Amino acid sequence: MNLGAVLGLALALKLIGTIDLPNGLNVDGAPFGGVSGADYDPRTGDWLMISDDRSDKAPARFFVGRLDYDARAVRGLRLTRQVPLRRPDGSTFPATQSASGERADAEALRIDPRTGELVWSSEGDEARGFDPSLRRMNRDGRWAGDLSAPSAFRFDPTKASGARPNLTFEGVSFSPGGRWMWLAMEAPLIEDGAVSTVARGGVTRISRLDRAGRLQAQYAYRLDPIQAAPARRGDNGVSDILALDARRLLVLERSGVEVAEGRFAYHCRLYLVDVATGENVVGRRDLVEEPVRVLAKRLIVNFDRLPGGAANFEAMAWGPFIGGKRTLALFADDNFAAEEPRRIVVLIAR
């Protein structure tokens, strides 16, 4: 198969620059960090960045700021405010140590291009009976409705099928114009086989949803193996997706390998896929019993080869056009650990 021909016009990206933010940033008393999803608002020039803090350091929230860069350099991020995420009753989400209630595990944030509302995903709270979810909210964090995410992605109390805890709704993207939403699972469903190992990558699902969250199409995506033999623990999965046009998606894979007690090294790759190269697996009970045609993918960026190497990149978004060329920004989740970089990388189409 001529992959270049199948994927169409290749996307080429050039590095503008990289910055590592300092420790100790906070907004209104809420520490900045844990960035797991981001989006850019061309109407205001704001960047919105959602944190996966489960209300332990401050109420679950997203940050608003201005990312300063041009075609020559990335100069910095100026944070302007933080916005707590709200439940339907208007309250914030409880912390881990709370006795009850859903603990939010935010992983993706997108601006609806039609309404300006925000859509965000939570990986769920299996221990307390809350499934992975997609929600709408206003710019002030107020709940604006739930979306009907695919039922196959719920947690199964018997562990025979369904989502694996903390490996669920990792990537969300609107198609240009907002007709569709794309949803990526971080790792395979239980019935779809094993998660990635050093020897072999698992197969996860990327779904196309309508604006209400109803499943319209679904494709199998073969993950890479874990990028290095782990001394202790290791994983690899999808950490974000981004629609390029009606058929093509950018898929960000992130592999974490524990190199010392509690310390991880990260290996990230950015791929281009065209859904025309895979089969629609809607209705398939699993991706194991019969062969499945997975999406063909083309490597666009290996972050190990960039200056400074890879970080725990979990968020990416299209930024402003510069000289008619599209820019792309990626944000690292620092896990609120002093030794992990709060890195931002900006690239531009060539």
3-state SS of the chain is CCHHHHHCCCCCEEEEEEEEECCCCEECCEECCCEEEEEEECCCCEEEEEECCCCCCCCCEEEEEEEEECCCCEEEEEEEEEEECECCCCCECCCCCCCCCCCCCEEEEEECCCCCCEEEEECCEHHHCECCEEEEECCCCCEEEEECCCHHHCECCCCCCECCCCCCEEEEEECCCCCCEEEEECCCCHHHCCCCCCCCCCEEEEEEECCCCCEEEEEEEECCCCCCCCCCCEEEEEEEEEECCCCEEEEEEEEEEEEECCEEEEEEEEEEEEHHHCCECCCCCCCCCCCCCCCCEEEEEEHHHCCCCCCCEEEEEECCCECCECEEEEEECCCCCCCCCEEEEEEEEC
| Residue 11 confidence (pLDDT) | 80
Tens of pLDDT, residue by residue over 91-105, are 999 999 998 899 999
Identify the CA nearest to 213 among candidates 117, 168, 153, 146. 146
Tens of pLDDT, residue by residue over 8-67, are 345 899 999 999 999 999 999 999 999 999 999 999 999 999 999 999 999 999 999 999
* 96 and 27 Cβ atoms separated by less than 8 Å: no
| Residue 324 confidence (pLDDT) | 96
At which residue do the structure tokens 């006795």 appear? 99
CA distances from 240 to 36, 186, 187, 274 (A): 9, 8, 12, 16
Sign (positive or negative) of CA dihedral 339, 319, 108, 161: negative
- The one-letter amino acid code at 167 reads L
Residues whose CB falls within 8 Å of the CB of residue 229, separated by 6 or more in sequence, listed in order: 198, 257
Distance CA 56, CA 34 (A): 12
Q: How many CB atoms lie within 10 A of CB 179?
A: 13
Kindly provide the b/e burial profile for residues 211-245, where b requires at least 16 CB atoms within 10 angstroms of the residue's own CB. Answer: eebebeebbbbbbbebbeebeeebbbbbbbbbbbe
Distance CA 79, CA 71 (A): 21
| Residue 130 confidence (pLDDT) | 96
Q: Which residues of the chain, if any, have pLDDT below 50?
A: 1-9
| Residue 293 confidence (pLDDT) | 97
Q: How many CB atoms lie within 10 A of CB 108?
A: 28
Does residue 247 come out as left (phi exceeding 0), alpha (psi in the -120 to 50 range) or beta?
A: alpha
Task: Considering the domain delimited by 3-349, tell me its CATH architecture.
Answer: 5 Propeller (2.115)
- For the chain, domain boundaries: 3-349
- The one-letter amino acid code at 316 reads M
